[in-house]
Amino acid sequence: MTVHAVLVDPPRPGLVLPDLTDDLLSDAEAADLYAAMARDAIAAAAASGGDLLVNYRPTDLLPEEYEGVDAEAGVRALAADALPDLDDVRFEVQVGSTHAARVGNTVTHLLRDEDAASVAAVDPRAPLLDHTTLDSAAMKLRRCDVVLGPSQRGRVHYAGFADTLDFADAYHPPEVDTLAARAADAGLDTDFAPASPVVTDEAGLADLLPLLSARERAGRRVPTHTAAVVDDLGLHVTDDRTVTRHSD
């Protein structure tokens, strides 16, 4: 069984999605969007056939201006909004000074110390990642050592591991190529999950919004929390891929 580790930050204004807050969104609106995407990621992992681990960055790993933030409480509130109950949800703090170190520590601990069959690091900013895709990737992890979900500009929205590798700087851009190279260096087989957009800035949002709209028009599943916030904010994409708001 795969442990799906959703790596979440407390959704504090100014901390999350800072590259979306120059002209398009306020800090509070960006935090609302991040929280919605994280809820959808948590719900997808909970609905999958694997185990859900909400892996959060604790207060002492946040920038100094967030010293008084209760990181655990903020992340637990996210999960409580996403799920009917938290009985089967595991919460653990991240350990490490960089994103790559935090992923590596989580994956290595679960594989080596807890004998997990496989571990997947899930980016909460990829709201189109659903439980079907997670289960499909978990099936691939039974046959190969590493499964990567590519995203725009060389990012990954999903990285699953049935064995360990050298995680030092393993998320150096382009992430998908660096992780594949580390897997090859360790003699591990790599496969891939379907591509999906990660929202970190306006370009990522421009990738997501047309897919959300198209899925809604086609009557297909959409990430409900993300879609609701996008609708509330009036976000849409113009012909030149500029994200704007209906109220503008």
Instruction: Output the six-digit token pair for 25.
Output: 């969104």
In whole angstroms, give the CA distance from residue 217 to residue 176.
31
Q: What is the pLDDT of residue 100?
A: 97
Instruction: Output the six-digit token pair for 194.
Output: 């379907």
Using alpha carbons, list the distances in angstroms from residue 111 to 46, 73, 157, 188, 228: 20, 27, 20, 15, 37
Instruction: Output the six-digit token pair for 233.
Output: 């904010």
Q: What is the pLDDT of residue 94?
A: 96
Instruction: Output the six-digit token pair for 144.
Output: 């190969």
Write phi, then psi, for 170 (nearest 5 degrees): -70, -15
Beta bridge partners of 159: 121, 148
Using alpha carbons, list the distances in angstroms from residue 199 to 30, 103, 124: 11, 19, 9
Q: What does the mean pLDDT of the chain come to?
A: 95
Q: Which CATH class is domain 2-197?
A: alpha beta
Tell which residue, 232, 235, 226, has the closest CA to residue 43: 226
Instruction: Output the six-digit token pair for 75.
Output: 């992340």
Tell which residue, 209, 201, 217, has the closest CA to residue 233: 209
Across the chain, where does the E strand assignment appear? 2-8, 51-56, 90-93, 118-122, 146-150, 156-161, 190-192, 235-237, 243-245
Domain ranges, ordered by start, for the chain: 2-197
Q: What is the pLDDT of residue 69?
A: 86
Regions of the chain where pLDDT drops below 70: 247-248
Contacts of 207 (CB under 8 A, 6+ apart): 152, 197, 199
Q: What is the pLDDT of residue 247?
A: 60
In whole angstroms, give the CA distance from residue 35 to residue 77.
10
Other CB atoms within 10 A of residue 157 CB = 29
Tell which residue, 189, 226, 190, has the closest CA to residue 38: 226
Contacts of 92 (CB under 8 A, 6+ apart): 53, 54, 55, 56, 106
